[in-house]
Structure 1
């Protein structure tokens, strides 16, 4: 994997690619502000956040001084939330149609059963919206039938109308409270990739090209490090973005250090689909490149991620000269105190974002020192051995690339 560099990082550009998220990117700034403050109090350092003053994607600036070295970082969120919102703009009937098509895609291709051989947690997370939406439908139908039977003897005409009306009303009631259930949200998340059987829709390919151009401009500047972060579904987008950057030779040898941090990745949910040829090609390509340093961080405690699954190996397209990623664990049960772990253990959605948050018993993984400290990702983890419990068994049968 090469020897770690020893250059101090004084200036850095960070490009954060979120997962399937319809919410405005300001939420990531607020999360960074509050959690960096908490981590600083625990680890004895201070980060100063200021608003972004330049044009371009939403972001913020950070000034940090650790070990008497001042580092200035510009963070930008590469937004595709508008694409997410359009894909989620579906009615109730349309969502149930997506449920059927998505389930059929994963079952008929065998992808679901192969994914279960890796980690059951993310598969259960994928099945949750299917099961919960069906439960909602069943409850609505039972309520309609019960109302029909209740008033049917006295007013059969009105009973039929009441039974017919109560079903859509209850379904709308459930949908209006999806910010608590996340059934519709997760259903649209999994359906987005399944609808094309793993290939990128045209609007997503166009957005990837925009990301490539934007990061390419940073690689042509005089900053010390360009750090690309892909979280959840954003990890597989980052793989394609970085692959396109390197193919276009936008990362010049004398330019900034190029780093890639994938967090809580769900790459197999897409790469195991039959038409994910572009993603498989990019995984294969990126895993061989010397110009980038790629660290993959997951945790078995995150039930939504394919924890410690090497996304290149398990997809079945690892080349002989594979270099990346280095797969390590954030080890939530060790880096969070027993009290904090007890508090978060069953908050699955919150745990999926823990990589971006403070740890009250931190080890070597510290999101805020990685993004704002004086060391590059390679300096921090270049000598780090991959997790012994990582999964590298190739279980995917769709390995065509192109």
Structure 2
């Protein structure tokens, strides 16, 4: 689907884009390469040109430069990844016993608070995704115990038989051998599962959900400090007189970080009468996983504040085909907030089953983790959502979706038990 910029005149010649990843321990170059490859594919499909070049030579290893030509209109954008992967890696550096303790603590937080039951009222997909690491880790533990116990029984029988052949009866030796072998084998199996977590994602997802649950919806000090730094970086972009739009993209857990960062900037009047327009694009958001927790006062307050502001345009894009996101759930209203002058977000669907061909959808349908990143990728039957035209095309977010109506399938029922904005 081609851009409509040429029919109304070019509004953006230069854009700054700030991408806030979700709970992701990987190096940000992963996003640059994803943007490069998927952008080229989308340009080929949709009939425009895009060129992506790294900016590492400028001391910016986490950013890249984009140039597009869409219907004869040239636009350039500088994209920066706001990195918090080091914080993620630190939070994941747990031993196997510590991870199982996280499992107990996280499950208790969501069950005892009533959040889990209320989240299921909205979408079962992301709740199943949240329960998956618990079930998988318990299954791994059960297999380790079962195999360890079975093997140890065999070893004990063999030791006892060998001792019997020489006329020695020492049950303590057989018992000790059984215990040592069983324990060693169980530990080895658990370590093997952890080493192969790139296929199972059990430890990864467990750490993800435990990170928010540990603080019952609040942000740990190191994350608050990083978010403040992100805010300063975004503010600096408005000082460039050549920038026409500053676009903040929050993906997955990064969406609720972006909510708080932008709320702080506007609340502190750091964006007073800027020349550049401010856009906020939230993708595959999981806001309810945090906002439904008892101590998520900060996030609920920021949601309440941001959704009423004229200083920005906020577009929320999800898809029912993404089982890891709260698809089409209005993050403000499902949290039970009732702002008197609510404007945002505009809720739309990326409609995977329509914007991907049947062949492509069949290929991706059961690859749940990959689908959660589809918002950042090419669509072979694109509709009105094109990540690359949004981030590097000639129209602002506000202009592109000025006449777009919200999805008819959006969910706006108040479901959260905890709605207080302050302790």
Q: Displacement of 1:255 after TM fit?
A: 1.9
Q: Does 1:268 align with 2:268?
A: no
Q: 1:212 corresponds to which residue? A: 231
Q: Deviations over 1:40-87 (max 9, x none)?
A: 110011111111154456100001111221111000000000000000
Whether 1:175 and 2:194 are equivalent positions in the alignment is: yes
Aligned to 2:84: 80
Which residue in the other structure is 2:30 paired with? Answer: 27
Structure showing greater radius of gyration is 2
The aligned counterpart of 2:170 is: none
Whether the aligned pair in 2 keeps the contact of 1:219 and 1:250 (CA below 8 Å) is no
Q: Which runs of 5+ in 1 are unaligned?
A: none
Deviating 4+ runs (over 4 angstroms)? none
TM-score normalized with structure 1 length: 0.97
Matches within 5 A, 1:226-305: 226-305=246-325
Say whether the 8 Å CA contact 1:8–1:375 is kept in structure 2. yes
Show the counterpart of 1:110: 114
- Report the alpha carbon displacement of residue 159 of structure 1 after superposing the two structures with TM: 2.0
C-alpha separation in 2, matches of 1:246 and 1:390: 27
In structure 2, the partner of 1:149 is: 153
| Offset at residue 150 of structure 1 (A) | 1.0
CA root-mean-square deviation: 1.1
CA distance in 2, matches of 1:7, 1:273: 44
Q: How far 1:11 moved relative to its partner?
A: 0.3
Structure 2: 5+ residue stretches without partners: 1-7, 160-173
- Distance in 1 between residues matched to 2:34 and 2:137, nearest whole Å: 30
**Alignment partners' CA distance in 1, 2:419 and 2:10:** 39
Q: Deviations over 1:325-380 (max 9, x none)?
A: 00000000000000000000000000000000000000000000000000011111
Q: SS of the counterpart of 2:16?
A: strand
Residue 124 (structure 2) pairs with residue 120 (structure 1) = yes
Aligned match for 2:372, one of 338, 352, 367:
352
8 Å CA contact 1:264, 1:352 repeated in 2: yes
SS in 2 for 1:125: helix
Deviation at 1:220, TM superposition (A): 2.1
Q: Is the 8 A contact 1:199 1:278 kept in 2?
A: yes
- CA distance in structure 1 between the partners assigned to 2:364 and 2:272 by the alignment: 43
Matched, 1:196 2:215: yes
Q: Is the 1:14–1:229 contact (alpha carbons within 8 Å) kept by the matching residues of 2?
A: yes
Flag the 1:57–1:50 CA change in 2: closer, same or farther, 3 A: closer
Match of 1:161 in 2: 180
1:136 maps to which of 134, 140, 151: 140
Distance 1:38 1:369, change over 3 A: same
By how many angstroms is 1:219 displaced? 1.6
Aligned counterpart, 1:306: 326
Alignment match of 2:96 (pick from 68, 92, 110): 92
Return the alpha-carbon distance in structure 2 between the equivalents of residues 189 and 205 of structure 1.
17
Q: 1:244 to 1:341 in 2, by over 3 A?
A: same
Deviations 1:272-321 (A, max 9, x none): 00000000000000000001000000000000000000000000113021
1:334 is the counterpart of 2:357: no
- Provide the rounded CA distance (Å) in 2 between the counterparts of 1:391 and 1:6: 35
Query: CA 1:45–1:182 in 2, change beyond 3 Å: closer, same or farther?
Result: same
Q: Any idea what the Cα deviations from partners look like across 1:169-203, whole Å, max 9, x if unmatched?
A: 10000000000000000000000000000000000
